[in-house]
Chain A
Amino acid sequence: MSVTTPTAGTISRPDLARLLAGPAADGRLVAPVRTAPGVVLFAPVRDPGALTLEYVNSTVSPKGCLFPQSEKILGWRGGGPKLDLYSPPEPQPLVLFGVRPCDLRAITVLEPVFGGGYPDPYWRRRRELTTVVGLGCTEPGPYCFCVAWGISPVAAPEADLMLTPVDPGYLVQSQSPKGEELLRRSGVSLQAAGTEPAVLRERRTAELTARFRRLIDPTGVEAAAERLFDHPYWRELARRCLGCGICTYVCPTCHCFNVIDRTAPDGSGGRYRCWDSCLFERFTLQASGHNPRPTRAERLRNRLLHKLSYHRSRYGLEGCTGCGRCVAACPVNIDITEVVADLKGMMT
């Protein structure tokens, strides 16, 4: 049997280590690592044996590889009469392995923000330099609801190389020149899949989709959100919100940032772009002292409606990918799937 396309086929489990060996040895591999009990984070990996495949989803999304939590975007040397500006060094090329379909979708969600009318050079450069290797899921986690947004849990087009687990190995689909190059350089050869790859993926998607237990139907939530903007619901919901930034920082699509200049006593310094959170009181505090989102109710409503309504109306894309991290990590059980149900319930 022949491979249907030259860029799709299966590999064995041991082949996976071979695929990643080169980037690992070069210090270019970023992959999920079990950092502590219950904590899986994307981190540089020097030995493919150190990464974990035993995770449903990482504790924090891998968006930081394309949009770092703190990034120096400009530097200056001090001491002289004139400010001597310089650009920080280029980011390193990376192979980002193990990205789940929800987090892959997040790249598409963020693309119009960073790559749209005002292209963001930092995001763009990191996108160019990063080879994204997607890894399909084998089991939905307790908080997962990606299928509600029409995402397949086993494959996504955003990956340069997409791996879909098919016992006993992986179905590999190269989806870009970067993916092909990673494959070619590794020397791993693809075996012909017994079944047409597209059919195989469809079958796995259907099997896994049926196992999701958090079934929500977001249809109509945008209209509900618009109608219920001033509803007392938000004030009631926000009573328990602690106003921390967990949900925004673990989220694969939250992308707000602040720009901070730091100057040392010798006059040298840098300009940094740092993640910010719309849950923080100072996020919208204006120089006049006025704050258009004065309480946690306005701030929490903003975050939830950004996910459920604003991103969609602005870009035609869902702002949430159903990764479930905010549900898992919120210390006071603010659950976006419940908010969807509540909003829709109030409309009927």
Chain B
Amino acid sequence: MKEITLNLRARAMELLAGGRVDLVIGYGTGSLPEFVRPVFVDRPERAEELIFNPLCAQNLTKYILDYRDQPGRVAVVVKGCDSRSINQMMADGQLDREKVFLLGINCPGLADPVLLSVAAGRRDWQVEAEPEGFRLRWPGGERLLPRDEFLMYRCRTCEHHNPVVSDVLLGDPILQGETPDRFAEVRRIESLTPEERAAYWDALFARCLRCYACRNACPACTCRECIFDRPEPEWVARVVAPQSNLAYHLVRAMHVAGRCVDCGECDRVCPVAIPLREINRKILKELAVLFGAPTPGTSHPAPEPLATFAVTDPEVWL
């Protein structure tokens, strides 16, 4: 992964120095070992701020929305999962492909920062991905952690280690084995009785803070004005209560239905660990079962089952 970082910096420097892009959005070192952060590199000499390591989880494509209407072009670092957002933004008419340069990274899978912190047991470590696992290093010591045990939850069901769209690709291509079952948890929840299922979600939504981090981090949430922000009419009550929280999450899931690329950012950012991704995955499962549709963003252009009517559409719910 060291090579990826070095190549990334070289590419960024080249793009900025040559005037091909005005800004490179990538990952940089965070304030503590378990954190990385988005960095916005606007000069060639700042390219050395860029890194790539197994903590680079955030889907940076969301930031494109801040720059797409400005003159010039931005480069964005995308992993396989993030790259689906680019295709979907184009399908949604949200992005002109010419406005972005995609620094694609063939990503072998990320590590869970909490598990790494616990394993390190100290506050001065760094992590690198190696073929055998995740290598933790600290001054005067190191430890190799088995990949399977420390792999981030979302990476366990990775569909695209290699970006589906990019302008350059960094790192060796990764053999995409068979994708593990992404719908196991959805099926578990489906198998509950309606009462059990209601109790399951009610308990989770009861602790929702309505901080809207799931919405703000979501690359499919592109509305200029969100209905949850409109005071009049008040579509969903701003009074925080289990019922209005349920309404919020279901409305949000429906708004991104058929457009959610399953990047897992809603899950990652939730401060109270509500497994929001499973709601979206329920919809993804329906798409797969009813229409044989792949995860949105897998290719572009692609059929959009929920935005298209065909007389052959299954109508099992009618």
User: Are A246 and B271 CB-contacts (below 8 A) given A262-B234, A262-B237?
Assistant: yes
Interface string of B222-260 (1 = CB under 8 A from A): 000000010100100111110000000000000000000
Inter-subunit contact A335/B31 (CB<8 Å): yes
Q: Which of B31, B35, B231 has the most CB of A within 10 A?
A: B31
Contact yes or no, B239 A272, CB < 8 A: yes
Q: How far is the CB of A258 from chain B (nearest CB, A)?
A: 8
Interface status of A125 (Cβ within 8 A of chain B): no
Q: Is B61 an interface position by the 8 A CB rule? A: no
Name the CB-closest residue of A to B62: A242
Q: How far does the Cβ of B51 sit from chain A's closest Cβ, in whole Å?
A: 13
B195 to chain A, nearest CB (A): 21
In this complex, which of B30, B211, B212, B273 has the most chain A Cβ atoms within 10 angstroms of its Cβ? B211
Complex Cα gap A338–B238 (Å)? 33
CB distance B40 to A240 under 8 Å? Answer: yes
Chain B residues with CB under 8 Å of A280's CB are: 212, 229
Q: Taking the complex as formed, is A69 at the interface, i.e. its CB lies under 8 A from any CB of chain B?
A: yes
Bound form: Cα–Cα A213–B209 in Å: 30
The interface stretch among A24-32, A34-42, A80-88, A300-308 is A34-42
List the B side residues contacting A35 at CB < 8 Å. Answer: 207, 272
Q: B117 interface residue, CB < 8 Å from A?
A: yes
Given contacts A274-B238, A331-B269, contact A245 B31 (CB under 8 A): no
Given the complex of chains A and B, what is the CA–CA distance between A243 and B234 in angstroms? 21
Considering the complex, give the chain A residue whose CB is closest to the CB of B40. Answer: A239
Q: Are A244 and B240 in contact (CB under 8 A)?
A: no
| B66 to chain A: closest residue by CB | A239
CA distance A205 to B244 in the complex (A): 44
Q: How far is the CB of A76 from chain B (nearest CB, A)?
A: 15
* A333 touching B211, Cβ below 8 Å: no
Is the beta-carbon distance between B238 and A246 smaller than 8 angstroms? no
Q: 8 Å CB contacts to A: which residues of B84-102?
A: none
Distance of A248 Cα from B212 Cα, bound (Å): 12
Contact of A331 among B207, B217, B229 (CB under 8 A): B217
CB distance from A214 to the nearest CB of B (A): 9
Residues B229 and A246 in contact, CB atoms below 8 Å apart:
no
List A contacts of B31 (CB < 8 A).
Answer: 327, 333, 335, 337-338
| Least CB distance, A287 to chain B, in whole angstroms | 11
* A238–chain B nearest beta-carbon distance, Å: 10
A38 and B36 CA atoms in complex are apart in Å by: 20
Q: Which of B38, B231, B273 contacts A36 (CB 8 A)?
A: B273
Q: Is the CB of A240 within 8 A of B38?
A: yes
Q: Using a CB-CB cutoff of 8 Å, which residues 64-94 of chain A contact chain B? A: 69-70
**Beta-carbon nearest neighbor of A282 in chain B:** B229
| B32 CB within 8 Å of chain A | yes
The reply on B73 being an interface residue by CB < 8 A is: no
Cβ B30 vs Cβ A333 within 8 A: yes
Question: Does A59 sit within 8 A of B, measured CB to CB?
Answer: yes
CB-CB under 8 A for A332 and B38, given A36-B273, A60-B209, A244-B211: yes
Q: In whole angstroms, how far apart are the Cα atoms of A262 and B233 in the complex?
A: 11
Q: Which residue of chain B has its CB nearest to the CB of A341?
A: B31
The answer to whether the Cβ of A97 comes within 8 Å of any Cβ in the partner chain is no
Residues of B within 8 A of A332 (CB): 37-38, 58
B211 touches A245 (CB 8 A): yes
A15 on interface, CB distance cutoff 8 Å: no
A109 to B162, CA, bound (A): 50
Is B229 a contact of A244 with CB atoms below 8 Å? no
For residue A188, CB closer than 8 A to chain B, the reply is: no
**A198 on the interface (CB 8 Å rule)?**
no
Chain A residues with CB under 8 A of B39: 240
Closest to A244 in B: B213
A35 and B204 alpha carbons, distance in the complex (Å):
9
B271→A60 contact, CB < 8 A: yes
Contact present for A69 and B209 (CB under 8 Å): yes
- Check A253 for interface membership: any CB of B closer than 8 A: no
> How far, in whole Å, are A250 and B241 apart by their CA atoms in the complex?
17
A142 within 8 A of B: yes
Instruction: Identify 24 residue pairs between A and B in the complex whose beta-carbon atoms are under 8 Å apart, listed by A's number.
Output: A35-B207, A69-B240, A70-B239, A142-B32, A142-B117, A142-B123, A143-B32, A239-B40, A240-B37, A240-B39, A242-B213, A242-B217, A244-B212, A245-B209, A245-B212, A246-B271, A272-B239, A274-B239, A327-B31, A327-B32, A329-B271, A331-B269, A332-B58, A335-B35
Starting from the known contacts A272-B239, A274-B240, 15 additional A-B residue pairs (CB-CB under 8 Å) come to A35-B207, A59-B271, A60-B271, A142-B117, A239-B38, A239-B63, A240-B39, A243-B216, A245-B210, A249-B211, A258-B238, A262-B237, A277-B211, A331-B58, A332-B58
User: Which residues of B come within 8 Å of A, CB atoms?
Assistant: 30-32, 35-40, 58, 62-63, 66, 114, 117, 123, 207, 209-213, 215-217, 229, 231, 234, 237-241, 268-269, 271-273
Contact residues of A with B, CB < 8 Å? 35-39, 41, 59-60, 69-70, 142-143, 213, 236, 239-240, 242-246, 248-250, 258, 260, 262, 272, 274-275, 277, 280-282, 327, 329, 331-333, 335, 337-338
By Cβ-Cβ distance, the 8 closest A-B pairs, closest first, are A244-B213, A333-B37, A331-B269, A245-B211, A335-B31, A242-B216, A244-B216, A329-B271
